Amino acid sequence: MLTAETAAAWLHAFAEKINENKAYLSELDSAIGDGDHGSNLARGVQAMEEKLQAGGLETVQDVLKTAAMALIGKVGGASGPLYGSALIAMAKQAGEDEKDVASIVKAGLDGIQKRGKAEKGEKTMVDVWVPVCEALKSGALTKEVIQNAVDGTKEMKATKGRASYLGERSVGHLDPGAVSSGYLFEALLEGGIL
Ligand code: ADP
Ligand code: MG
Ligand code: MG
């Protein structure tokens, strides 16, 4: 069940995965971007952890909103405002019904798309959020669903974000934001929330 405690634990597990894979995420971004995705997110999750550990957060909405503000303030690049928009929209939805994880994550996807205008198939984090939302709705989110979504970005041609400058040369590389979003949902799965 999603509570202020499990939401904070989810984000903490996400932060750990980002820190463990910081170099890998930046390496992926070096191939099709500017090589900063790991360091951008590591900076953001450190700020997020500091805010979350300060305590005093009583609702899921408080936790998600606090995380959003920390990420927006520190991540920069394209991914900072996108993850920030996702978490703000998720916080708002959690204010409506904090038990409905599928609706909360769907609100996050809508926030990302409102901000970044990417559709499925454009080789971005949206290519992970869309199948994850569908799986959450039918109660069937698994590690395989997440992994297949992440891997699926490899053969796509980027048409949004910095990787789109490469055109056809973006094909054959995983999208770094899809990989980091994969970590977010692995952390959700492992967190015993669903
Ligand atoms: P920057 O490209 O500014 O250096 P990052 O490297 O931190 O920012 O983030 C890059 C990631 O952001 C990409 O791998 C992609 O998943 C995501 N991204 C970029 N543009 C968009 C967009 N319009 N919609 C969704 N995701 C996007
Ligand atoms: Mg980058
Ligand atoms: Mg950058």
pLDDT tens per residue across span 49-91: 999 999 899 999 999 999 999 999 999 899 999 999 999 999 9
CA 88 to chain centre: 12
- The ligand placed nearest to the CA atom of residue 41 is 1
Q: What is the pLDDT of residue 169?
A: 98
Cα angle vertex 160, ends 159, 166, to 5°?
A: 60
Mutate to test the pocket of ligand 1, among 37, 85, 183 (most ligand atoms within 8 A of CB): 37
Q: Which residue has the tokens 């899809």?
A: 178
Task: Looking at the CA of residue 117, tell me the nearest atom of ligand 1.
Answer: 23
pLDDT tens per residue across span 96-146: 999 999 999 999 999 999 999 999 999 999 999 999 999 999 999 999 999
Q: Is-above-0.90 flag for pTM? A: yes
Number of domains in the chain: 1
- pLDDT band for 172, please (50, 70, 90 cuts): very high
Q: What is the pLDDT of residue 55?
A: 83
Distance 183 CA to ligand 2 centre (A): 17
Looking up residue 14, the CATH number of its domain turns out to be: 1.25.40.340
> By residue range, what is the domain housing residue 79?
4-190
Distance 77 CA to ligand 1 centre (A): 7
Cα–Cα dist 91/113, whole Å: 16
pLDDT tens per residue across span 21-32: 999 999 999 999
Burial of 104 (C-beta count, 10 Å sphere; 0-12/13-18/19+): buried
pLDDT surpassing 90 at residue 192:
no
